[in-house]
Structures are given as structure tokens and as C-alpha cells.
Structure 1
Amino acid sequence: MAWNEPGNNDKDPWKNKGGKNQGPPDLDELLNDLGKKVTGIFGGKTTKGGSGSGKSFSSIGISILLIVASVVYAFSGFYTIKEAEQGIVLRFGEYSGTVEPGINWKWTFVDRIIPVDMQSTRDMPSSGFMLTKDENVVRVEMQIQYRVVDARKYIFSVTNADDSLNQSLDSALRYVVGHAKMDDILTSGRESIRQSVWEELDKIIEPYNLGLIIVDVNFKDARPPNEVKDAFDDAISAQEDEVRFLREAEAYARGIEPRARGRVKRMEQEAIAYKSRIVLDAQGEVARFEKILPEYQAAPKVTRERLYIATMEKVYGNVSKVMVDVEGGNNMMYLPLDKIIQQQNTSNSSGKTTYAPVNDTNVNTSPTSSSGRSDRFNNGGN
């Protein structure tokens, strides 16, 4: 007969364990024993056989457990957000708000905190072989710097904001390089390419609201394939020589132009001075004529002779001509008297006499004419 059949309770193993009539342990008895042990540790007295005391010890144990659990739960909710970060709060997986840097508290097992770095500047490179507008292949390397400005958009706008930005950078770079010539990419158009990539990248990421801002775009390197590198190096050297020659020409022009302008200015000043001198001389002649006019009206003949003599004196005083009077074999030099320092007479078979003034002007006389006088003018023996 089985031990658990009716009328066979004497064979219950829980009651007869150890040879005595024992049953399974009761929860109250376990708590009572635990309370006694705790009381004994802290020096308290234990009572035997009291059911009321067992129940009181059970209540105390449960209260202690609840208090300890509450304290542990409360302390487990504290967390820290770093100074450069901003925290995204998710409550049961749904966005609940953001928290600022410092010590904060959350509901454990309810809230989830995602820290986002808001101040650090991040780098993202991009490179590859690309086809240019003039159907050449060039390898371009570019790097951008960016940072997060909106933590919520950075986390929830797309699945992965960094990956989306990387794909946008590749797209913008290939678009700009595909619309540019290879010579511009390798030489003088690098700055224009960089600005164009920056503008195109901003246009691409703007509709996605990634919560990012592009800080800078760096054009690191651009080079042709190795198979044609030597030819492109020669082309670049020729372009550099062209730029150098242009700079030298500009420097030469900057040096010549001021001097030419100075000469022009000097000529203008000389022309103005000449004009003023001529005008003043004319005005002086008019004034002199106005002073002579009354004298001429009073004695016309005397005035004419005086003007003639003064004019002839002025004319012959400024030239190397001499006037010689030949009469009856006597030669006399009249003009210019102030220049006669040396006189030399030479007689020849024809009866001609030569005079040599100080200015090396030889005066040759000729026989008298039918009137008995002749005026000879000779310059330098001619």
C-alpha cells in the first residue's frame, strides 16, 4: 500500500524522518528561526513557544527587506552626464526629454539615458577615384569636420546620422568633381572645389535634419593615376612657369608705368611753363610797344633808325658772322666788336685778306665791286 493512501499516514516520510513524527517546515517557523538568530546576534532575548512573537519577527524581516530594496533602487537611479554631453531620456523606449550635464536621477528599469557629445569636433574622411568633366580619372581625398548641435535630431532623425553624413559627403564630392576639369582640380581650382563641396553637402543633409553642422572642409590631396602622373607633372610645371612669367611682367609694368607717368607729368609742366613764358613775353612786347608808340609818333625817322640799330646789334651779337668793309685796299671789321680778340692779315697774289675771329670764323674778303664796297658773311670759312 502506498504511503499516501487513506489510512496509511504513518508511513509519511516527512513525519517519520529521523525516527520521529516530523512534517514539512512551515514558512512562519522559518521566519521565526531567522528572527531568533538576528535577535541573538544583536543581544536580544528569544522566547520559546510563542506564536505571536513568531509573527512579529516575520513582519520585521519583510519590512527590513523592503527598506533595503528601496534604498538600493533609489541609489541605482543616480547617473552623471559629462560637461560636454547632453542626455536623451527614453521612458519605456519613448523619447521623454533631455537632461543637462551634472548628476541626475532616473527610474531604474523604466528610463534609459543616451549621452550625446555636443562639443567635440569630429572628423570624417572621404576619398576615391572619380571621373572629371573632361573624362579624366583623378583620385581625390577630402576630410570634413562637424559637430552635433541637436541631440534629439541626431539620435532619432535617421537610423545612423554619422553613416548618412558619410554617404552625403561621397555624393557631394563625386558630383562636384564630375562637373569640374582635371586641371582645375589639380592646380588653381582647389579652393573653388572645396567651397562647392561644402555648399553641395549642406544642400544634401538639410532635408534630413541630422542635427549636425559642418565646421570645415579640407581638400587634402588630388592626384592623377600613376600611369599618367609624369605627363601631368610636366603640365603643372608649365602652368607654374606661366604664372611666374605673368608675375614678372606685372612687376615690370608696375616699375615702368610710374616712370612713364612721371615723364608725362614733367612734359605737361614744361608745356604749361612754356605757355606761360610765351604769354608773358608777348605781354612784355605789347607793353614795350605801347611805350615806344608815343615816341614813334613824335619822331618816326629817329625811332626807326634806333630800332634798326638795336635790332642789328642784337642779331649780330648772337651769331658768328662778321661784317667786313673793303674800300681802297683797307679792310675794316665793324661787327661784332666785342668778339674781336685776334686778327690776322694774309696777303696773296689776288690781293685777298683773311680775318680770323676768336670763334674760329674765317672772313675772306673779295675785290671791291663797282660801288667800291662789298659785304661778305662767312661762317667757318664757308
Structure 2
Amino acid sequence: MKNFGLISLLFVMSITVWSAVYTIPSDSVAVVQRFGKYLTVVSAGLHVKLPFGIDRVSIVPVKRQLKQEFGFKTPGATDPYQSSTEQNGLQETQMVTGDLNAALVEWVVQYRVSEPTKYLFEVRHPSQTLRYVSESVMREVVGDRTVDEVITIGRQEIESEALVKMQTLSTKYAMGISIDQVQLKNINPPKPVQESFNEVNQAQQEKEKLINEARRDYNKVIPLALGEKDQRIREADGYRLKRINESLGDVARFNALLSEYSKAPEVTRRRIYIETMEKVMPSIKSKIIIDETTKHVLPLLNLDTSGNGQPKGAQK
């Protein structure tokens, strides 16, 4: 009997120690309740509580980043609210855009537990509520934009606006959650029109390609043409200045000649005549000079010489 009592005592003590000692991971805190009433928040490490269910400990991962996936599922997930079920997975992604088109939107919400007491006591199922909030906000944001914005250029704006609205609702509902990031994944049109939509996108890309090529040719040809234009303008301006200066020089020379002519008309006339003949005569190949005052039979002088420097027909 004594051995049985000792064994029983040891068994009770073991159960007491087992139910009184607990460990909190480094990325979590523990919310302690005594008889169901909130008592305190305990940090990471080894701790002791009242055994036999008097104190109840709820471990909350406050330093770990959690996520929820919409439209797809990561294998091996332990959180039942991380991914959608097979029944409502497609329903979550089906959305109507602002221009009354349909799109399949997949996204991820990354969040942290910022206030453990609110996370445990203010909302019955905070993770499930966050899924409802995320889906509602995403449908609202997508519904304010066209399908082209949703699929192409509006992704970053949708992510930013959805993040702000999700955080606002989480704070309003006192969920104790901080939204870190909202990230859009795959966005596609419904399967019956995907092929046609891809053709439209391909045509749009081809259009952009042709526009870029035209801009490249434009940037290549136009500066060259502008350079040639400036060169022609400078050449014309130089020619203009040259002709003006030549004209001014001719005028000045004529005025000087006129002044000399006024002083001695006969001498100037004779000098002009001689200078003119000096310019004209070398260009004339056959030259015959007639002198009316000579008394010879043939009053002419043939100046057209042959290659040996003598007049044609002359004998050595």
C-alpha cells in the first residue's frame, strides 16, 4: 500500500508539473487566461502556470509573417485559413471589372498579429474574417477599373489601394492584425475568351513594336534633316554675305574709276580700253589687225602664229 501511494503521489506530481510548465517559441507570445478571464501576456521562454486547467495559455505568433492565398494553394500549408477550399477557390477569383468585363484575379495577403488580445477576443475567427475582408476589398478595387487596367498597367495601384482599405477595415473591426503587403499574382480573362484575349494582346504588342520602330526612325532621320537644314541655311547666308561684299567692292571700284574718269576722261578711257583688250585678246585665237593709215597693198597684219612662233605661211 505504501508503494502504491508513493507511485500515485509521483504520478500526480508529474501531471501537475507537466500541466504547469510551458514553453513559448521565440517568435510568439502567450496570452494567459485564469478561469477563462484574461490575465496577462507572457513573452517567449520557459514559464509556469497554475495546473489542471486553472490557467489556460494561447500562443500567438506575433513576429511571424502570415499569409493568405486566393485562387491557388501552396502545398504543405498548416493554417486552414491560408488557402481557399476547392469549392470556393474559383468563386473567389471571378470578378467583374468596371467596364463590365470578367477577370480571374489571384492574389496574396501577407499580415502579422499586432495585438494578441484583440486577435483572440474581439473577433470570433479573425483569419476567416480577414479572408472575407480581403475578398470584399479586392472586388471593390477591381470593380472600379477597366479590364485592361487590371491585367496590365493598374496592378501596382490596385495593390496599394487594396492594402490601405484592408488595413482600415482590420482596424475598424479590432482584429489585431497589421497588413504588410497585398500582391497580385496571375490575372487572366475567363477561359472561354483567353485565346481571343491573347490574340488582342499580341496585336497590341505588335502595335507598340511598330510605334517604337517608327519613333526610332523618326529620331534617326529628323535630327539629320535638321542638321542638313541648318547647314544649307549657313551656306546660303555665307553666299549672301559673299555676294553683298562683292557688290560693295564693285561699287567702290566703279566709284573710284568714275572719280578718276572725271579728272582725266581721255586718259582714263584709254587705260580702260587697254585693260579691257588685255583681258579679251588672250582668249581670241585668230587675230587680224587692220590699219587704215598704211599704204601697203594689203593693210593687215596676221597675228595668228603657228606652233613655231611664226605667222602662218611665213618661211624661214
User: Which interval holds the TM-score relative to the shorter structure?
Assistant: 0.5 to 0.7
Residues 309-363 of structure 1, C-alpha deviation per residue, up to 9 Å, x if partnerless? 668877x69xxx86987766969899xxxxxx9xxxxxxxxxxxxxxxxxxxxxx
Contact 1:144 1:216 in 2 (8 A): yes
Larger displacement relative to structure 2 (304-313 or 103-112): 304-313
Instruction: Show the 5 A alignment for 1:181-260.
Output: 181-260=146-225
Q: Distance in 2 between matches of 1:179 and 1:323?
A: 96
The alpha-carbon distance between structure 1 residues 189 and 70, as it changes in their structure 2 partners (threshold 3 A), is closer
Q: Which residue in the other structure is 1:116 paired with?
A: 60
* Structure 1 vs Structure 2 CA RMSD: 4.6
- Using structure 1 for the length normalisation, give the TM-score: 0.55
Residues 251-306 of structure 1, C-alpha deviation per residue, up to 9 Å, x if partnerless? 222222332343344345545655665677678x499769959x849955456765
SS of equivalent residue, structure 2 residue 26 = coil
Of 68, 84, 105, 1:140 maps to 105
The one-letter code of the counterpart of 2:212 is: R
Q: Which residue in the other structure is 1:105 paired with?
A: 48
The alpha-carbon distance between structure 1 residues 235 and 75, as it changes in their structure 2 partners (threshold 3 A), is closer
Indicate whether 1:80 and 2:45 are aligned.
Answer: no
SS of equivalent residue, structure 2 residue 142 = helix
Contact 1:129 1:137 in 2 (8 A): yes
Of 19, 35, 38, 1:92 maps to 35
Question: Which sections of structure 2, spanning at least 5 residues, go unmatched?
Answer: 71-91, 291-297, 308-316
Q: Distance in 1 between matches of 2:303 and 2:118?
A: 119
Contact 2:261 2:269 in 1 (8 A): no
SS of equivalent residue, structure 1 residue 96 = strand
Question: Which sections of structure 1, spanning at least 5 residues, go unmatched?
Answer: 1-32, 38-60, 335-340, 342-382
Instruction: Show the 5 A alignment for 1:18-37.
Output: none
SS of equivalent residue, structure 1 residue 114 = strand
SS of equivalent residue, structure 1 residue 244 = helix
The alpha-carbon distance between structure 1 residues 138 and 311, as it changes in their structure 2 partners (threshold 3 A), is farther
Q: Which residue in the other structure is 1:29 paired with?
A: none
Residues 12-48 of structure 1, C-alpha deviation per residue, up to 9 Å, x if partnerless? xxxxxxxxxxxxxxxxxxxxx96xx9xxxxxxxxxxx
The one-letter code of the counterpart of 1:104 is: H
Identity over aligned residues, as a percent? 27
Q: Distance in 2 between matches of 1:309 and 1:205?
A: 112
Shift of 1:249: 1.7
Higher RCO structure, 1 or 2 (CA under 8 Å, sep 6+): 2
Bigger Cα Rg: 1
Q: Which residue in the other structure is 1:128 paired with?
A: 93
The one-letter code of the counterpart of 1:243 is: E
Count, aligned residues: 271
The alpha-carbon distance between structure 1 residues 261 and 208, as it changes in their structure 2 partners (threshold 3 A), is farther
Q: Distance in 2 between matches of 1:228 and 1:269?
A: 61
- Using structure 2 for the length normalisation, give the TM-score: 0.64
Contact 1:138 1:225 in 2 (8 A): yes
Q: Distance in 1 between matches of 2:25 and 2:115?
A: 16
The alpha-carbon distance between structure 1 residues 144 and 299, as it changes in their structure 2 partners (threshold 3 A), is same
Q: Distance in 1 between matches of 2:217 and 2:253?
A: 55
The one-letter code of the counterpart of 1:83 is: S
Shift of 1:90: 2.3
Contact 2:98 2:146 in 1 (8 A): yes
